[in-house]
Structure 1
């Protein structure tokens, strides 16, 4: 009988089973999930280094960078939408290089096949057995560039790995390295040659972010930098290891969230399902993402506790791709973000 073998040359998860010292130090003595001040301060210093490092190459767009870091700390995936030439790819490359992690890029095109992303089995004539050749999805940071240039069948190749962080090839479930994050870029849907992402695919992304043109001062700085020296990520140094990132993610996940805030997140998601101008609303994944992202936002702000404003600040990027306007609302010129603003103003905010 023919055996199936995984190619040894492919990447493996070097972090599997690693102890998370930050989490152990913050919970060993207290016996609960409360993080002490030294751990939080250490995490803030690491995040500050990371933000400064990215800003050396990716000029401006600080709100976008912070939102990407929120999703990173919350172990989520990000969909970034914007017209070509605004630095979406540069941001992802800089982030991966700053963390000293594996980075792979897949350029989505109409003829891209699912196996080009996940991998496939192939027969080795020398050994007379099938071997599994891992695709570019086996990495820490996967850039799905212009994801809406490929048809739905190819886009669906990411469904399993984004949810399970593993890929099934020839009946074998192969885990991806840890940490793992998909950052996808897409052009506005009205651009020629684009395919809309299916609802199941969109729901796998924790946040959908928009990148816009830089302001006048940032564009001057960008032009000066680009015209005066070599650009790209060659000058970016690693300021964070994959292990340190895993520790930060675990510390963030240990933040205690008040039950009233969890109830608030659920009520926001439910409000999208009941709104008369929405064709469909957000599912339970949205409620989970709101709480996870709120924890990460609190950590970036230097707190180990979550406030209602943390949920409000992440509500638009968490919800905007999980809902759809009905035809009457679209004809009336409404936007999803304006409708989400209405919901945020209507749903009662808890008083802690």
Structure 2
């Protein structure tokens, strides 16, 4: 085994191992939190780990079929991370972005398996892709890495002061993992040594990200916009049973606010006969409402915008709140009896940062 071949096999194996560790950590975290979106993040890392291991084997055995097979886990993992990024800050995945990705993936797949003369076996080095396949892969990698970098950048930019340092490490690691690795891979088209350098750099970026995740797993799932307040209201008595603020909101008496929401819901239901209100949109905020008719309560969340992650969190919060306070809801319903609702907030909304020094 030559030095160049050894470097390729080592760099891809080490990076694969580090990425597999990151995928395992996030999978365990997703399982414990019962969070389906984080499973997508974990799926990307685990898929990329498989890609790196197959890539290492292809270089070691000088096998073109193995190198072609390595693209399959990439084609699975990249859509997972893009869907994760989209749904963590929006209600739906952008059809334009996902369509562009599907077109690029289809081209990469066709060129990889059906267009000949895009691979070469270099003795003492390994397998090197070239021509139109190399160009397609560079475009594919940069499309993915722009998403990945922007995700970490927005996480850093929107993070509160107490998480700024940690998100700075995440941004640094993600930049190395994505943009720097992509540039090295592009240069590797002409100077093959840069391929191994790029793979090592990718591993360093993965290692930094792992350290950040180990320090605080919430960092990968931090909400990229503001959630201001959550309320649990008695829909019969129009009383706020519980309130928690992530940011300083305008001073509004909770019971008046509750009665207003109840009034709006009742009027609309009487006129339209279309059921309960689940969302109220404003210019710079949105009210998400999750009802529990059996216990005559509703959880109301105020945020600067909505997303699938926030809506799912509200649903889980409502379910956990009912489970924890079932006996209390069936008896006294004194506001003081629901103070431990904070534990439910911390359990379910651990991805929502606090901005209590700011005002709406």
Q: What TM-score does the superposition give when structure 1 sets the normalisation length?
A: 0.24
Q: Could you say which structure has the larger radius of gyration?
A: 2
**Greater helix content:** 2
